Structures are given as C-alpha cells and as structure tokens.
C-alpha cells in the first residue's frame, strides 16, 4: 500500500506554493484593514509577483514529472501498480492536486500576473466608485476585469457555457445546466412564500434594531459569541473592514473581520457569527495536511454552508437567543430592557425585500443570488455588455424584489466580488444556504438535545460535530460525496425550503 | 552614454526580488503588531520561503549573465566600452548590485532559508524568555543563531576578523580595525564627561516624566509631532509593538511603531520621533528607483543618523520645545501646567547611567553600544562562548556604567537583535549618533535661521534639506562619500563630542 509518505517530494513543493499563497493572503488582508491609502499601487505589484510565482511553482516541470509518475492523465486518477495500490488519502490528494495542476497549467503565467495586478487595482477603484456612487467610475476597471475573465474561460475551456469554466473555479463541477433548474425550483417556492409573508398581518417590526448601540460594546458582544462558538483567538483575530471577510494563512492564523454601525445592531453581530462560521472551518482544517488539498477547504459552497449555518440556523434561532439575549440585555439595558425575547427574535428575522444582499433576510437572500447568477451568465455568454450591467441590475431588482436602487452603491456597486475578478462566485452563496440547512438538520438528528445545548450556550457541541463531519476532511471528498456521506442524501433544496416555510409560517402566522 | 534604460532587464528582475522582500517585511511587521500568538511557527515557514526565493532570484543565472555583460568582476565596477561610458546613476547602480549579488551568491540558498526560519522562531522564543526573565530559556536558540552566523562568516569570507564579515552586512566597509580606535576616542572623552556630569550639583530631575500620562493622549501627541515632521500618514501608519521599529514596503507604505507606558512620558514620544526620522528617510527614497540600490537606504549607520538627528538634535532641543511644549501642556494640564519649560527640558535631557539602551540618554548611549560591540566581537572571534554572554554582559555593565542588571530582561535579554540574527548591527547605532550631529551641524550652516524655523514648528524645512541631501540619493554614494559630499569632511567624532560637551556643559553648569 502506498501512502502519503511516498508523496512527500510533491507535498514539499505544494507547501512552498501554499507559503506564497498565504503571504499573498496576508497582503490582501492588510490591504483591507490597515494599509495606508497611498500603498495601493505598490501592493498590487507585490501581490502580482507572489501570485505569479505561486502559479509558476505549481505548474513547474518538477511537479509535472512527479504527477506523471503517479497519475493517469486521461482519468485524472492515481495509477495503481498491481499489488501496490494507493491508500485513500493519497488517492484523494492526487486527484485534487491534478485538478489544480491541470487547471493552473492552462493559464499562462503572464495572464495570472496581469489578472492579479488588475484585480488589486480594480478593487481600489471599486471602493472609490462605491464611495462616489458612480458606476461610470468603475466601468473601465470592470471592462478590463471582464475581458480578462473571458480570456480565462478560453484558456480553461468548457463544454456548454463559458460561465461554466468560472463556476467550476469556486464550486468544482457546478454548471449553468445544473444550477438553472435548481434555482427555478427555489424561485417557484420562495416567491409565493415571500408574497404570503408580505401579505401577513403579523406584527413583525425591527425598529428596535436601529437604536444607538455603542460600537465598542457591539464588538465586545461579537467577541463573546465568537468565543462561545469555539473560535480560537489564540489562532485568530477580529478586525474591522469595509466588507467583512475571513482569511486564513494556516489553521493557526485564521482572521475574521466585521463592520460596526452605531445606529444598527445586526451588521456587527451577524457578520461576526457568519465570518466565525468560516473561521471555524479554516481553524478546523488538518494542520498536518497544510499545503495539500487534504488541508484545504472543499469548495466555496461548503465554506458558505458553515457561515450560513452559524449565522442563520444557529444565530437567528430561538435556542441561541435563549442563552444570549439576557447577556445582550445586560450590555444594552437602555435599548433592550423592555424588549421581550419574542419581539427581539421577530426583529432579527423580519422579512423585507431589500437592496443589499449582505443585509437580506434568509427568505429573500437567494433572490439576490439568482439576480447575480443571471447577470453574470448573460455577461459571460455575451448576451449583455458591461455597459448594460447597471440597467440589467435595476431591471432585475424590480422583477425579483420590486425595488429600484436609488444609488449605484446600493445597486450594482454593492459587492466587492467583480472587482476581485470573482465572477462565478455568487452561486456558491445559494448552494451554501442549501447545504447549511441540510447539514444542520443532520446535526439535529445526530446530536441528542442539540437545541438544549445551544440554549445553554454550549455551542462547541455543534462545532465539534462540524469539525468531525466536515472540517477535518478538507478536500478528501467531493462536495457531493461529503454531503451524501454526512446526510445520507445528495444536495436537495427540500430541507432549506421546508425550514423556511416552517420558520416563517410560524413567525408570520401563515395558514398552512 | 549608457543610461539606466540599458539596465531595464536587470531592473525588472531586481524589482521582483524587492516585491518578495517587501512581502517578507509585511509578514514581519504583522508578526510584531497583529499576528495571533498561535501563528508563529507557520509564519516562520512563510518567511523562510519568501527569503529563500528572493535570494534565489537575486543570484539566478539570468542576473549573473546580465551583470557579467556590464561589470568587471575583478574590480566590481561597470565596464566602459571605448566611446560609450556609463552615466553616473548607472555606475552606482551596477556597483551596488554587484555588491549585493556577489555577497548573496556566497550564501547557499538552503542556508538563507534555514537562517530565516530559525530567526523567526528565535524571535518568538526571545520574547517569551524576556517575559520570563530567563536567559537560559533563550540560550538554545541563541546558540543556533550564533552557529549560523559563524557559518555565514565562513561563506562571506573576511581578512582580519570574522566579525568584519557581519559588520559589513549592515555598514559596508566597517571593520573591527576601524571601529576600535574610533570607539576608544569616544570612550576617552565620554567617560570623563559623564563623571563630571555625575559630580555636578545642578538640579536636573526627571520625576515629572513619571506621572500618569493618558496613553491615548500620548499617541495623539506622537501623531501630531510626526505630522509636523512631514511624515506622511497617507503613506504610512503608526502602531504599537513591544520594540518600536520602522519598516518599509515601498516609499508609499512606510510604517512606524511605538510603545506607550501610562506612567512614563518619554518612551512613546521619543520612539515616535526616532522612528519618524527613519520613516522620513524611507518615504523620501526615490520611487522611480524602487527595487534598485538607488531607491534603497544607504546603510544602517546613515539610517540611524536620520532617527537620532530627529530624536536628539531636534526632539531634545530647546527650539523644538519652544513650539511643542505649550501644546503638550494643553494636552496634559494637570501634569505640566506648573512645570517651567526649562525644567521640562532638563528632565528630558537628564543624564543617568541606566540599564536599558533604548532609554539611555545621549551621553551614555554609546557606552551601551561599545559594550555590545566588544561582546559580539569576542563571541564571533571565539574569545567567549554563548553560555558566557550573561556574565560578560553583567561585567561590562559594571565597568562602563557602574550598574548590575537585576534581571536578564533588563540585561542581556533586552534587545531583539540577536534573536533576529542581527549580529554586527549595534555599531551602526554609534555611527548613526556621530553622523547625526555632523549632518545637523551642516544643516544649521546651510539653512539660515534653522532653529527659529524649528521653534516656529516648521520642521519640514529640515525634512526637505534631508530629502535633498540624503534621502533621494539612496545608495548612489557610499556613506563616506555622502558624508563628505554633504558636510565637506569625512566622518569624525568631533562634532558629536563638541555637541555633547556644549549641551551638557550648559545643562549641568560644568566649568569648562
């Protein structure tokens, strides 16, 4: 039996690639948190160099020679010698390294550097454009990015849609052909549910969330919840950034960010819990396998399932607040002393069509994603031009949510993703929502009295289950395999839809 | 005439090396400021990878081939073709690249990685050992570092003393043979001056500096002074760290750190001014020459001259406080309202033998350096063993300053340098002190009414002079050439000694 020990020469090279990628991640984290404003252009050059080198090291002749020894390039699978098969971890590792290697090899090194540099610059232009509410200001950068991503689809290749090549970057195997019916099912159930909610006469008001909440105390509470979740501050930290995110340089250094608004309670806390879910995944990866696919997150959809599970299934649930609401009341007596737990629960779960994806409630969130999916698909398939994005955005907002963005900052400029070149990323958020409920329902079946544990503040019971079932495996399994392995069934929209119908049926007193 | 344009293929490669070095500098900055405690070992690996790659890229066959076209390796100078000479910037660039290249080429790549990794680890052990007051805790790491530095001297080669090979890293051309008489001259004048000061009956008391000073206000004042100096916060930032330092990733991103003690005024402010002096140098380097020696600081001695000039010649002078003392009194009315400017000036200039180098007054500071010079020299020349360092330190402290360190943290463990592998670095501090006064005296001659400008808060008059005379040239000249070019004479201890004799003669009312 051949084991990971055989692969050591390959693994040493992969680790070097990972060190470069981790350094690049720190440069990006710094860019979003502490970099002085003038440092942008030089940072773009530094990032491009690191990304270019990491790419070159991965596709080097040395790595190719090692892989060719061990892998059948026709199947992308490990080659067994008669009587000397590979063990399972080695097979998984080789399969996934081959995926990364063969994808990366299609991209010229010069292209990788250009893309890295342009994205780092575009990200800064986007931030300015958003501040100035001007899509026109961002347009030239976006045109560059989209042209580069189209170039990328030609390098990567695809069967049906060029958008498939980009989707596959973030969610291996995802395609327009598979997502279209899935999203149609969701839409067919979500829109009627939304309409019933909007017609409901149940009193669900969230004005109480828009009182003045001291930012320092908000951060304190965020840290308290992160700690309760089992997020390890010896191996992480919490900072502020314009757009909350999680980044990892190693399981021993996984950082989350949040944002704080003085006059709004939800942003800080739910960003903490959301990013904390991501952070637990990255802290829970196998340190021994650092630098190899076995020590990496499986896909963005699975990553998002972890953040959404904590944010929604836990953080917006009654059991969670049974424990944490009294603590919150202590921190904000003036604001919350007179507010009954039920009223608070209703406020944080209020459904209302809104302009901003990251502030959307659980019910309308996926509608924001479908809008972006359609726009990106049409853009990459050449059905609409970059110039038309603003109009397309506003049209679809009316269609899906009945709203007209008053400014670009609240419309087409709201997300950082396009400026980062992350086209094809948004659908993973919708997948994450589906996975999150499917996993959480399984956790409730597996862990006796889970909701009582949560209500007692023992959130780490759930963290440990996720560590065992999801985190520690890295990319050992495909997403499809993992989800079947843990829940017994393939990905399905049913648990998610049933969860929403139950939750909002109760909250909005809908007749069933 | 051949110009820098000819060198573009070389410069492009040097820029890539610099991007890697800048990324490594950011990783180090982060390690000292924001990295969570658990992140240390992974950070060490990442740093080692970046440093190893930067080294490999510098000594690559491509760089060698380019240099061999243009440089005579026997002299290390640019080779002129008849009728087609190099211009001055190109000659300087080639001379300095050759120096870096030929030094780097002597060091095996594997050695560079090992050293980078061990230093990053040792730095963390040192911090713990200092916290625990335990030299024994640091001893194994220090033994590793010293062994590596001895290995380095063998790779680099030397004529007289192996310590020369290390000195040359930080101050090109510095040798034991040259420093020994220079330090002897200093000692011969400083020790008698110190004795006269200690016997003086002038009332110089600094108790007022040890009242409670609100840390936030201290930081505010530090920022105010940095801004007045012309330090550009759009291209820099101020953070806290255990050991204040300056780091630069590009002239557009130059960061300084300081430390704050609630019950002590000097540390925060003078660290700000000191690091601000370093920061002005790095912000003042020529952006167009980034990545080449022409865009790099000349030597550590010259770098230190900038920090000490601002810290001492400016920051501890009467003209400076004529402007800033009223502002300081406004910030700390309770503490300073009743304190006359003269009493404050005396307090911040009080001479007293002390245990900690970075807190030493201007008169005793160089004695701390001589102690370290002798210890390092003896260590590297094999006259004393790593085990004996603690005893050697304590003996010399008694000799030079009449003090016995009560703890290792206040003695042999006080400086970060050895843990970083920076043996041979300390003498540059003494050189910096000498250069600083020699330059400042020249600035007083060149800038009419400099002290009146300073007294009016117009510190940028001096900054601009330094920009023009020192900063913008990078490594165009050698230190010796630069100092002669600016001041008309070679390095001399006389201006420094005369300055101290004048300053402390007046303050301590010494009869001349």
Concatenated DSSP letters of A45-80:
HHHHHHHHHHHHHHT-HHHHHHHHHHEETTTTEEPP
Are residues B334 and B478 located together in one domain of the fold?
yes
Residue partners of B269: CB distance under 8 A and separation at least 6? B218, B221, B222, B225, B315
Of A24, A38, A234, the CB nearest to B38: A234
Contact assessment for residue B417 and residue B119, using Cβ atoms and an 8 Å cutoff:
no
The H-or-E segment that residue A249 falls in is strand A246-250
**Which residues in chain B have Cβ-Cβ distances shorter than 8 Å to A24?**
23
Predicted pLDDT at B116 = 86
Are residues A393 and A481 located together in one domain of the fold?
yes
In chain A, which residue's Cα lies nearest the Cα of B44?
Answer: A19
Q: Which residues pair with B253 in a beta bridge?
A: B250
Q: What is the pLDDT of residues B290-311, one digit of tens each?
A: 999 999 999 999 999 999 999 9
Asked whether the beta carbons of residue A38 and residue B249 sit closer than 8 angstroms, the reply is no
Which of B404, B247, B272, B382 is closest to B328 using CA atoms?
A: B272
Asked whether the beta carbons of residue B22 and residue A46 sit closer than 8 angstroms, the reply is yes
**Which residues in chain A have Cβ-Cβ distances shorter than 8 Å to B233?**
36
Q: Is B32 among the residues known to form the active site?
A: no
Distance CA A303, CA A231 (A): 15
Sign, Cα dihedral of A10, A16, A17, A21: positive
Q: Per-residue pLDDT for B512 more than 80?
A: no
Q: Per-residue pLDDT for B15 more than 70?
A: yes
In chain A, which residue's Cα lies nearest the Cα of B16?
Answer: A49
Are residues A145 and A201 located together in one domain of the fold?
no
Tell me, yes or no, whether B167 lies in a domain: no
Q: What is the pLDDT of residues B141-155, one digit of tens each?
A: 999 999 999 999 999
Tell me, yes or no, whether A512 lies in a domain: no
**Which residues in chain A have Cβ-Cβ distances shorter than 8 Å to B45?**
15, 19
Backbone angle region of B239, left / alpha / beta, with phi > 0 → left and psi within -120 to 50 → alpha: beta
Written as six digits, the tokens of A350 are 């209020």
Which of A310, A319, A324, A258 is closest to A281 using CA atoms?
A: A310
Query: 10 Å Cβ neighbour count for B201?
Result: 6
Residue partners of A174: CB distance under 8 A and separation at least 6? A164, A167, A168, A301, A427, A428, A431
Of A27, A36, A232, the CB nearest to B26: A27
Contact assessment for residue B290 and residue B251, using Cβ atoms and an 8 Å cutoff:
yes
Q: Which residue in this structure is represented by tokens 């992160």?
A: A226
Tell me, yes or no, whether B221 lies in a domain: yes
Residue partners of A117: CB distance under 8 A and separation at least 6? A44, A45, A47, A48
In chain A, which residue's Cα lies nearest the Cα of B57?
Answer: A53
Distance CA B376, CA B430 (A): 15
Predicted pLDDT at A320 = 98
Predicted pLDDT at A486 = 98
Are residues A454 and A358 located together in one domain of the fold?
yes
Written as six digits, the tokens of B107 are 């060091």
Interchain contact A295–B (C-beta under 8 A) = no
Count contacts between A and B (CB, < 8 Å).
112
Quote the strand ranges of A20-175, DSSP E: 71-72, 77-78
Could you tell me the mean pLDDT of each successive run of 10 residues in chain A, 512 residues long?
A: 94 96 96 93 93 94 96 92 90 96 94 89 92 95 97 97 97 96 95 95 93 98 98 97 93 97 96 98 97 97 98 98 98 97 97 93 97 97 96 95 94 94 97 98 98 98 98 97 98 97 96 71
Interchain contact B231–A (C-beta under 8 A) = no
Are residues A143 and A203 located together in one domain of the fold?
no
Question: Closest Cα of chain B to A32: distance in Å?
Answer: 14
Asked whether the beta carbons of residue A34 and residue B237 sit closer than 8 angstroms, the reply is yes
Distance CA A351, CA B62 (A): 63
Tell me, yes or no, whether A151 lies in a domain: yes
Sign, Cα dihedral of A452, A236, A419, A294: negative
Tell me, yes or no, whether A120 lies in a domain: yes
Which of B171, B391, B387, B194 is closest to B297 using CA atoms?
A: B171
Q: Which 3 state secondary structure label does DSSP give A340?
A: coil
Are residues B85 and B220 located together in one domain of the fold?
no
What CATH number corresponds to the domain at position B341?
Answer: 1.10.1370.30
Asked whether the beta carbons of residue A26 and residue B30 sit closer than 8 angstroms, the reply is yes
**Which residues in chain B have Cβ-Cβ distances shorter than 8 Å to A51?**
none
Domain that holds residue A52: 4-155
Contact assessment for residue A489 and residue A495, using Cβ atoms and an 8 Å cutoff:
no
Query: 10 Å Cβ neighbour count for B262?
Result: 12
Tell me, yes or no, whether B83 lies in a domain: yes
Predicted pLDDT at B117 = 87
Average pLDDT over every residue of B174-198: 95
Least confident of B13-27, B113-127, B264-278, B392-406: B113-127
Are residues B210 and B72 located together in one domain of the fold?
no
Which of A78, A59, A74 is closest to A7 using CA atoms?
A: A78
**Which residues in chain A have Cβ-Cβ distances shorter than 8 Å to B49?**
16, 19-20, 23
Distance CA A158, CA A166 (A): 9
Tell me, yes or no, whether A166 lies in a domain: no
Are residues A144 and A188 located together in one domain of the fold?
no
Query: 10 Å Cβ neighbour count for B403?
Result: 16
Q: What is the DSSP string of B151-193?
A: HHHHHH--SS-HHHHHHHHHSTT--HHHHHHHHHHHHHHHHHH
In chain B, which residue's Cα lies nearest the Cα of A38?
Answer: B235
Predicted pLDDT at A117 = 87
Are residues B324 and B461 located together in one domain of the fold?
yes
Are residues B130 and B220 located together in one domain of the fold?
no
Question: How many domains in chain A?
Answer: 2
Tell me, yes or no, whether B512 lies in a domain: no
Query: Alpha carbon A381 to chain centroid distance?
Result: 24
Predicted pLDDT at A512 = 62
Are residues A130 and A193 located together in one domain of the fold?
no
Predicted pLDDT at A327 = 97
Q: Which residues pair with A250 in a beta bridge?
A: A253
Percent of chain B with pLDDT over 90: 94
- Exactly one of A32, A275, A296, A376 is catalytic; name it: A275
Contact assessment for residue B507 and residue B343, using Cβ atoms and an 8 Å cutoff:
no
Residue partners of A226: CB distance under 8 A and separation at least 6? A233, A238, A256, A272, A273, A276, A279
Are residues A141 and A183 located together in one domain of the fold?
no
B127 CB-side CA count, 13 A: 13
Of A20, A50, A235, the CB nearest to B39: A235
Question: Closest Cα of chain B to A38: distance in Å?
Answer: 5
Distance CA A475, CA A489 (A): 19
Interchain contact B240–A (C-beta under 8 A) = no
Interchain contact A110–B (C-beta under 8 A) = no
Q: Per-residue pLDDT for B82 more than 90?
A: no
Question: Closest Cα of chain B to A454: distance in Å?
Answer: 28
- Exactly one of B32, B275, B374, B376 is catalytic; name it: B275
Distance CA A346, CA B146 (A): 65
């Amino acid at each position: 039996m051949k084991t990971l020990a055989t692969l050591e020469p390959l693994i040493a090279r992969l680790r070097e690639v990972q060190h470069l990628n981790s350094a690049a991640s720190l440069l990006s984290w710094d860019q979003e948190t502490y970099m002085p404003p003038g440092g942008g252009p030089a940072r773009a050059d530094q990032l491009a160099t690191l990304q270019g080198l990491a790419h070159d090291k991965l596709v080097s002749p040395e790595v190719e020679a090692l892989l060719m020894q061990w892998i059948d390039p026709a199947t992308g699978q490990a080659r067994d010698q008669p009587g000397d098969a590979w063990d399972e971890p080695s097979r998984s590792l080789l399969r996934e390294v081959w995926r990364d290697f063969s994808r990366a090899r299609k991209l010229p090194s010069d292209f990788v550097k250009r893309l890295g540099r342009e994205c780092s610059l575009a990200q800064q232009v986007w931030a300015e454009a958003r501040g100035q509410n001007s899509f026109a200001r961002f347009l030239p950068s976006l045109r560059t990015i989209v042209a580069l991503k189209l170039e990328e689809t030609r390098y990567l290749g695809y069967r049906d849609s060029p958008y498939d090549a980009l989707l596959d970057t973030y969610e291996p195997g995802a395609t327009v052909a598979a997502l279209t019916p899935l999203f149609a099912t969701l839409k067919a159930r979500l829109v009627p549910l939304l309409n019933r909610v909007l017609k409901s006469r149940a009193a669900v008001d969230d004005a109480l969330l828009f009182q003045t909440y001291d930012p320092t105390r908000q951060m304190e509470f965020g840290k308290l919840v992160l700690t309760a979740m089992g997020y390890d501050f010896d191996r992480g930290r919490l900072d502020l950034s314009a757009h909350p995110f999680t980044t990892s340089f190693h399981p021993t250094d996984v950082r989350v960010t949040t944002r704080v608004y003085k006059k709004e309670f939800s942003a800080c806390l739910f960003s903490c819990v959301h990013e904390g879910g991501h952070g637990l995944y990255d802290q829970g990866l196998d340190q021994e396998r650092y630098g190899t696919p076995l020590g990496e997150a499986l896909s963005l959809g699975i990553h998002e399932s972890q953040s959404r599970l904590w944010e929604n299934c836990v953080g917006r649930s009654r059991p969670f607040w049974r424990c944490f609401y009294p603590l919150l009341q202590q921190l904000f007596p003036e604001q919350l002393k007179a507010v009954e737990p039920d009223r608070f629960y209703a406020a944080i779960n209020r459904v209302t069509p809104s302009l901003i994806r990251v502030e959307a409630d659980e019910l309308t969130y996926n509608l924001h994603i479908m809008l972006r999916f359609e726009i990106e698909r049409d853009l990459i398939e050449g059905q609409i031009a970059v110039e038309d994005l603003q109009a397309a955005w506003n049209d679809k907002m009316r269609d899906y949510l009945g709203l007209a963005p008053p400014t670009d900052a609240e419309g087409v400029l709201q997300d950082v993703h396009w400026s980062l070149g992350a086209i094809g990323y948004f659908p993973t958020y919708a997948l994450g929502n589906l996975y999150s409920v499917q996993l959480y329902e399984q956790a409730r079946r597996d862990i006796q009295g889970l909701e009582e544990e949560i209500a007692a503040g023992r959130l780490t019971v759930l963290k440990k289950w996720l560590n065992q079932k999801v985190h520690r495996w890295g990319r050992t399994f495909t997403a499809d395999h993992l989800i079947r392995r843990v829940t017994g069934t393939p990905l399905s929209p049913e648990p998610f839809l049933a969860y929403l119908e139950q939750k909002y049926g109760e909250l909005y007193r809908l007749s069933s």
